[in-house]
Amino acid sequence: MALLTVCELRTAFSTGSKLLPVVRGVSFDLERGETLGLVGESGCGKSVTALSIVRLLPPSGKIMSGSVIYDGVELTSASKRALRQVRGRHVAMVFQDSMTSLNPLLTVGRQIAEGIEFHRGSTRKAALARAGDLLEEVGVPEPGRRLRQYPHQLSGGLRQRVAIAAAIGSDPELLIADEPTTALDVTTQAQLLDLLKREQAEREMATILITHDLGVIARMSDRVCVMYAGRIVEQGNVDEVLKDSGHPYTEGLLRSVPRLDAAVVGRLPSLPGAPPTPGALGQGCAFAPRCSERIGRCDADPALEPVGDDGHTAACWMRGASRAGAR
């Protein structure tokens, strides 16, 4: 049985009178110890998907339908109490902005120890000692001194390490990292990703890595889901998807990444137009307005269809089994 099964998740935000669908039917599985990458442009709904899993949406957000089953427990309808037992202890999160994600009035050590104290029932002292160990594990120099410092005294990279330490402190089975390195410089980014990979391997932790950076996905993930306008448009093993993508959007993304080994020829290709806002979605494939390969059939929403082997699926009429028919 998969560790996490998300099925047809739909989440919407209510602003005033309007209800804006942000996640429009997302489904994926996650096995134990597996790293799944969730990639897409800003606004495609990847962060909201992650927040929906643990129900940490802001007050205006609501899960409209669908199911999220973690280790056999249905999370969308779980009681607050049951949810709190899952959060932190089994499913931990690391957020993008470490400055605002940490309480400025508490020391770093206290914040790491908080989860340990609560979930393990440790004393404050024991939890802080464990926090120190965790800081050392995530590669923070002088952990003893750092424990007593406050978030604003640390650099971005260190803060993010602290966030990771706090997250893994209770030995969760699933770590959801929402753009953990986006706010950092490239060198720090590389170090942090290595750290994540190491921790994940050592602890056999499943990870959902959310990012807009394909390079990060390539480096870190086993499988990847490409999201666009609230839907998953392509899913599969990382190598498969990146080498032989089944969706024009994925292809477009890949093409727009500059390569060291290619000759510099003219302008960097980019996808024309911009992703639709949640309120402006019509019928049919959401990507169609920007797609160079659209056909008449694209006015109807394509479902995810198998493309290659190994569970590689893409939601495009031009690919998959229907390919033969369209030709």
Partner 1 sequence: MDGPWRVAAHKGRDYAAVSTTVALDDLVGPNGERDRGYWAEAWFELRHDWTAMVGLALVVALVLLAVLAPELAPHNPTFQFFQGLTPDGSPLRPGSHSFPLGTDGLGRDELSRLLYGARVSLSVGVLANLLAAGLGIFFGGIAGMSRSWLQSVIMRAVDVVISFPVLLLAIALLSVTHPSVTTITVIIGVSFGAYLSRLVFTQVVSLRERDFVTAARTVGTRTPWILFRHVIPHVVPSVIVYSTLGVATAIQLEAALSYVGIGIQPPNPSWGNMISDGQAYLSSDPWLVILPGVSIMIAMFGFSLLGDGLRDALDPTLERRTRLILAGVR
Partner 2 sequence: MPSTPRSNGGPGSFWLVCADMIRYTLRRVGWTILVLWAIVSLTFVATFLSPIDPARSYAGLRASKQVIAEVRRQFGLNEPRWVQYGRYIERLLHGNLGHSYATGQSVFGAVLGRLPYTAELAIAAMLVQITLGLPLGVAAALYRGRPLDRGILSVSLLGVVTPTFVLGYLLLYVFAFKLAWFPLGGTSSFAALVLPAVTLGVGGAAWYTRMLRSTVLNIVGEDYVRTARSRGLPERLVIWRHVLRNAIGPLITMIGIDLGVFLGGVLVVEKVFDWPGIGEQAWNAISFNDVPMVMGTVLVAAFFITILNLAADLVNAVIDPRVRYSGTAGGA
Chain contacts with partner 2 (rule: CB under 8 A): 54, 56, 58, 80, 84-89, 92-93, 95, 97, 100-107, 109-110, 114-115, 118-119, 124-125, 128-129, 131-133, 136, 141, 143-150, 152-155, 158, 163, 166, 170
60 binds, among partner 1, partner 2, none (CB under 5 to 8 A by kind): partner 1
- Interface of this chain with partner 1, residues 50 to 79, rule: CB under 8 A: 58-61
141 binds, among partner 1, partner 2, none (CB under 5 to 8 A by kind): partner 2
Size of the site for partner 1 (CB under 8 A): 23
9: phi then psi, degrees, rounded to nearest 5: -75, 130
226: phi then psi, degrees, rounded to nearest 5: -95, 125
> How far lies 210's CA from each of 202, 205, 226, 253, 289, in Å?
21, 16, 10, 16, 25
14: phi then psi, degrees, rounded to nearest 5: -105, 120
5 vs 149 by CB, closer to partner 2: 149
Report if residue 285 touches partner 1, rule: CB under 8 A: no
> Hey, what are 215's tokens?
């390079």
DSSP 3-state assignment of 176?
A: strand
Q: Which residues contact 105 (CB under 8 A, 6 or more apart)?
A: 150
42 binds, among partner 2, partner 1, none (CB under 5 to 8 A by kind): partner 1
Please give the Cα distance from 252 to 150 (Å, whole number).
43
The only residue of 273, 295, 303, 311 in contact with partner 1, by rule CB under 8 A: 273
Report if residue 169 touches partner 1, rule: CB under 8 A: no
Q: Any bridge partners for residue 11, and if so which?
A: 23, 63
Question: Contact at 8 Å (CB) between 15 and 75?
Answer: no
Contact positions vs partner 1 (CB under 8 A): 13, 15-16, 20, 22, 41-44, 47-48, 58-61, 270, 273-278, 280
